[in-house]
Structure 1
Amino acid sequence: MSIRLGYQIPNFSYGTPVAELFPTVIAQAREAEDAGFDAVFVMDHFYQLPGIGTPDQPMLECYSALSALAVATSRVQLSALVTGNTYRNPTLLAKAVTTLDVVSGGRAVLGIGAGWYELEHQQLGYEFGTFTDRFARLEESLSIIEPMLRGQRPTVEGRWYRTENAMNEPRYRDDLPIMLGGSGEKKTFGLAARYAQHLNVICDPADLPRKLEALAARCAEVDRDPATLETSFLTTVVVDEDGGKAREVQRDYFVRNGIDPTSDDPRVRLLLSRQIVGSPDEVAANVKERILDKGIDGIIINMPLTGHEPGKVALAAKALAPLVK
């Protein structure tokens, strides 16, 4: 497994009728594959997220969408970024991602995290619990899913889940990779050191050196070489051959969503820190300086404002692929 350049599709609001929605998703995935991306991701949510849109905007169930993308593509790895552990029993999740691997011919990645979007849980009837609860559930879930992916038959009597000689057939392979996503230097990074092949780090890019130090410490605690745990960073990109036009697209987004980019609100500052906007050369220089030069192995981008426009995904790949290949 190697994900040095990934493309995430975080939104399905393209101004099209529903009948044209998924063809637009397929077009993005194929463009990403043709342009040299290693992986294509979708979010595992049922409502659209704050900062991208309103909760009632279109959102597809991720494993159904990924299985459809498996037959529309031939090379790219396919994953959720990341699966919300609270939405599925771990045995069902193991079965879903293993089925995706069979359907795709060995291209599935299990991206997983603790879950965080309270509105979905509240309105759809999923137990949310406390922060501590969600991480305890994630740890217990991984203790079931990981052996099931490897062909073992775990029996677990846990606080949250129970299995008895849980089988998982068929499997395309026994080394389906696990990716964790999050920012927690103790809990998330500790679970990544124990279970994962890849960690997608979520933070302000300025915090990356500290995050990587914490990850090295968690690896040392379980006697793992941190070089065996690949890392990536997710960022939003708006790119245009004319950098001024890209910045205009960003400004229009701020106006539509009532965001003041000069605000001292920490949420606004974090949003801005994870957006990279400009010409291909500007985007490449920014990604290199702020992310890759900090020691992160790979970059995953999303393009919620323009990714559905033909040619934009390929333009981003042209700028970024030389940095990571």
Structure 2
Amino acid sequence: MTIRLGYQMPKFAYSAPAENMFPTIVAQSREAESAGFDCVFLADHFFQVPTLSEPSRSMPEVYTTLGALATPTKKIQLSALVTCNNFRNPALLAKAVSTLDVASGARAVLGIGAGWFEPEHTQYGYEFGTLTDRFERLDEALRIITPMLRGDRPTLDGKWYHVENAINEPRIRDDLPILLGGSGEKKTFALAARFADHLNITCGQSELPRKLDALDARCAEVGRDRSTLETSYLAFVFIDENGDRARKLQHEFLLDLGVDLSTASEAERAAATDRMFCGAPDEIAEQIDTRVLEPGIDGIVLNLGANARQPEIVELTGRTLRTLVEA
């Protein structure tokens, strides 16, 4: 598996009626595929999170949607960024992602994390629990899912999950990739060192050197060669051929979330834009190169929440970054 350039679709709050939503998702996925992205990612939430849109706006179920993308796309990998472990029995999740892999011709990636958004757990009747609870669950889940993806039949009588000789067929390969997502230097990174092929890191740009040092330490603790664990960074990108238009898009996007960059203090502005990259193509390339790739991250997963459906923006982004991440 290689994911140097990933395209995330976290928002589905399109103005069109619901019946027109999926054709838009297909069009975005095909455009990302044509633009040279390695993987298309969909968010796994039951409703929109407040950092992106109003909760009542559209949010399709992730594995139904990924399965439906297996036919209209041909090359691009398909994944959640990331599956909330709490929402699905781990053996069933292994079955679902393996079926997606079969349907897509070996293009599935299992993206998974411990879960963080308590309101959707409460609304849908899932136990949220403590941080320790969630990571205990994820640890047990990975001890079930990993062997099932590799063709083994695990038995586990755990604190949270129980399986007996769990069969997982059909499968078409024994190396379906596992991607963990998160920022926890102790728990998430330790699980990534033990189980993952790829770690997608979510944090402020200035934190990346410390995060990579922590990841080195977690790999050393389990005797893993750090170079065998691919990394990427999740970024919010505002790009336009005209840098001023890109900055206007960023301003309007944040204004909808209650942040006015024109009146914000320096500290408020820094906090609101810490994971954002904004400007013309050459500005975006320079920002990502110096702030993400030079510190040692392998690739970038990005979303274009402000203008993704504008003609040629996805293609422009792929053209801007493809060569950079392959260098």
TM over 0.5: yes
RMSD: 1.1
**1-structure distance, mates of 2:254, 2:62:** 28
Deviation at 1:70, TM superposition (A): 1.1
Letter in 2 for 1:62: V
Would you say 1:117 and 2:146 are equivalent positions?
no
Match of 2:80 in 1: 80
**1-structure distance, mates of 2:125, 2:219:** 36
What are the Cα deviations for residues 157-195 of structure 1, in whole angstroms up to 9, with x where unaligned?
Answer: 000000010000010111001000010111000000000
Q: SS at 1:193's partner residue? A: helix
Deviant stretches of 4+, over 3 Å: 263-266, 268-271
Alpha carbons 2:259, 2:272 under 8 Å: kept: no
Match of 2:13 in 1: 13
**2-structure distance, mates of 1:270, 1:79:** 29
**1-structure distance, mates of 2:209, 2:50:** 28
Alpha carbons 1:7, 1:37 under 8 Å: kept: yes
Alpha carbons 1:239, 1:280 under 8 Å: kept: yes
**1-structure distance, mates of 2:267, 2:60:** 31
Letter in 2 for 1:4: R
Give the share of equivalent positions with the same residue, in percent: 58
**1-structure distance, mates of 2:202, 2:271:** 10
Deviation at 1:270, TM superposition (A): 4.0
Which ranges of structure 1 fall in alignment gaps of 5 or more residues? none
Letter in 1 for 2:190: G
TM-score, scaled relative to structure 1: 0.97
Deviation at 1:255, TM superposition (A): 2.3
Q: SS at 1:111's partner residue? A: strand
Q: SS at 1:78's partner residue? A: strand
Letter in 2 for 1:299: I
Letter in 2 for 1:68: A
Which ranges of structure 2 fall in alignment gaps of 5 or more residues? none
Judging changes above 3 Å, is the alpha-carbon distance between structure 1 residues 17 and 324 closer, same or farther for their aligned structure 2 residues? Answer: same
**2-structure distance, mates of 1:202, 1:277:** 18
Match of 1:214 in 2: 214
Match of 2:187 in 1: 187
Letter in 2 for 1:91: A
Letter in 2 for 1:248: K
Match of 2:293 in 1: 292
Alpha carbons 1:25, 1:308 under 8 Å: kept: no
Q: How many residues align?
A: 324
**1-structure distance, mates of 2:257, 2:201:** 26
**1-structure distance, mates of 2:285, 2:77:** 23
Letter in 1 for 2:230: E
Would you say 1:55 and 2:55 are equivalent positions?
yes
What are the Cα deviations for residues 249-272 of structure 1, in whole angstroms up to 9, with x where unaligned?
Answer: 111122222213324777x64441
